[in-house]
Amino acid sequence: MLRLIGGARQRLVLSLFRCDDAEVLEGLASALARGVEVHALLTKRAKGGRKRLKKLWDTLEEMGATVNWYADPVVKYHAKYLVADEGPAMVATLNPTRKCFTRTWDAVLVTHDEAVVASLLHLFESDTRGRPPALGRRFSPRLIVGPERARADLHRLIAGARHSIRILDHKLSDPEIVALLRERRKVGVAVSVIGSPLPGALDPHGRLIIIDETRAVIGSMALSTLSLDFRREVALMVDDAATVRRLNQAYQELSARVGAPARRLPGGRP
């Protein structure tokens, strides 16, 4: 994240839910000092966080950044991404906070894909202006955006699994998704779920889906009804073999330590 911020030359676009990491804030201040425009989009609502959100707004404004609230009265803002200039872009599961950098399982994906970059910039502009984004053919199919496309895209992805489905999500609870996972398991697809608690010292936070060891999805959305249907969420699909292999290795290391509970689905027998 610091490399992307430090490499920006003209503009930085930040979608933030929380941010209290001193190095990230210093990086943004340095970017502004060298003439980079910094635009941030914040949520108005976070559990126990109204005072912290106002403090973050004030901090960014005092630096010279342009800050906007996400204006939708119903949909909660939870997306986490960053775009430097006209690319690269970063889609993350984490918030740039001390906790996420030190105590939680999280991941970021960096991409130079021009379609992804353009689509994220369009989404940011739409959300900043309070208008619906255009998610048609010109919008990158690699991006899963909630609530508009999250349920349909993830349902299609899971339904298309032929060999294995691996999920890291401590909030997996949506009845439709759970039923679909049971259905895939019945036809012979190996389904594994790592929830909470995680083994070792890390807290659960990030979300990861790996399909057939060939495609992965990383992003902010959980497989819960609230996250799928009532939140602005962003996830990125990746099929780059090396990246998927690294994510799969990380998952398998956690799964080996979790053991039998990784084979359970919500509501299943212990």
Break the chain into its structural domains and give their ranges: 2-129, 143-263
- CATH entry 3.30.870.10 includes domain 143-263: yes
- Residue 49 has what pLDDT? 65
Instruction: Please report, in angstroms and rounded to a whole number, the separation of the first and last CA atoms in the chain.
Output: 40
The region that residue 28 occupies, defined by phi over 0 for left and psi between -120 and 50 for alpha, beta otherwise, is: alpha
Q: What is the pLDDT of residues 221-258, one digit of tens each?
A: 999 999 999 999 999 999 999 999 999 999 999 999 88
- Residue 142 has what pLDDT? 98
What fold does the segment set 2-129 form as a domain?
Answer: Endonuclease; Chain A (3.30.870)
Task: Please give the backbone phi and psi of residue 174, each rounded to the nearest 5 degrees, phi first.
Answer: -60, 125
**Mean per-residue pLDDT pooled into runs of 10, the chain (270 residues):** 97 95 97 98 76 88 95 90 98 96 95 98 96 95 97 98 97 97 97 90 94 97 97 97 96 90 76
Q: What is the pLDDT of residues 53-95, one digit of tens each?
A: 888 989 999 999 999 999 888 899 999 999 999 999 999 999 9
Cα separation, 191 vs 194, whole angstroms: 10
